[in-house]
Amino acid sequence: MTTERLIVIVLFDGVDLLDVTGPPEVFSLLQREMAEPTGYQVVLAAESMDPVTTSAGVRILPDVTFAEVGRVDTVVVPGAVETDSRRRVSAVVDPGVVAAVARLADGARRVASVCVGAHILAAAGLLDGKRATTHWSTAQQLAAEHPEVVVDADPIYIRDENVWTGAGLTACLDLTLALVADDFGDELALRVARQLVMYLKRPSGQSQFSVSLEPVSTTRRIEDLRQYISRNIASPLTVTDLAAQVHVSDRQLTRIFRTELGMTPAAYIESARVEVARHRLESSDETLQKIATACGFNTIDTLARAFRRQLDTTPNEYRRRFRIG
């Protein structure tokens, strides 16, 4: 079985359902947006033709077996996880699936993993010396088991040469849109994103997290400070001012922030300001100067530098991609 753009999605028992169904939906919507055929042929491949039971309990029938697949354009590798008695999550890697992926990837134009599928790519040697991402919950496992891989748990997706890796479950849509843009350009990818009712296309460097989604700290005084920062985001918010709020020294405050939130007070404040600026860019027509002032950046240049550090994009580019309405 060969075609110009044969896309093979790997199936195995326990695979995450959305990892499997998300990419084909993007490819299908792309066809609706094009006057001519895309040239894509998407098939689901497994070890045998028996139904595969996904993590959600939904059974899926493969189109072909691994042995029946010939030359491939794109290999998409989803993932699977298991949880132990202490609710710790780890990626599942089956040696048979690893061997099949290694064979399918040999000669393929590109290979992509979805979520914890990166662990399978790593086991197959396809991430050696490459920068890669995966779901945040298994990033430490990936780094520990494969020190030859440069693991970055922050981005939505990463491309390193012809290997693409995606982060969390819904990031499979972002990753697939990026594949579409690589083949057909940004304009078509953006049109597909609109069909998906997504905020157009997230930059690859955008963090998997936003400040508002971070875990609540275990120390009440830090949680109170977070609320204080949110209420006074336009103010200078120096370390000394924050330390005074909870009656500790500057050094103590920095140590508490590192312990509780894994970052310095200054880094947290910048993240919080970027978060507020993001929402204003998405939902208003305010000038960049007004947003910079309202978020405590004061100047457009300071705002832009923070966006580059936090999101690897510019405020104007972010607004273009995410503007609602």
Catalytic residue positions, numbered:
115
- CA dist 210 and 225 (Å) reads 17
Contact 118, 142 (CB under 8 A): yes
- Label residue 241 exposed, middle or buried (CB < 10 Å: 0-12, 13-18, 19+): middle
Q: Residue 56: count other Cβ atoms within 10 Å of its Cβ.
A: 11
Residue indicated by tokens 């939902």: 283
Contact 179, 74 (CB under 8 A): yes
Amino acid type, 114? V
Contacts of residue 76, defined as CB under 8 A and 6 or more positions apart, other chains included, come to 7, 8, 9, 10, 23, 112, 113, 114, 117
Q: Whose CA is closest to 229, among 216, 219, 241, 247? A: 241
Contact 88, 138 (CB under 8 A): no
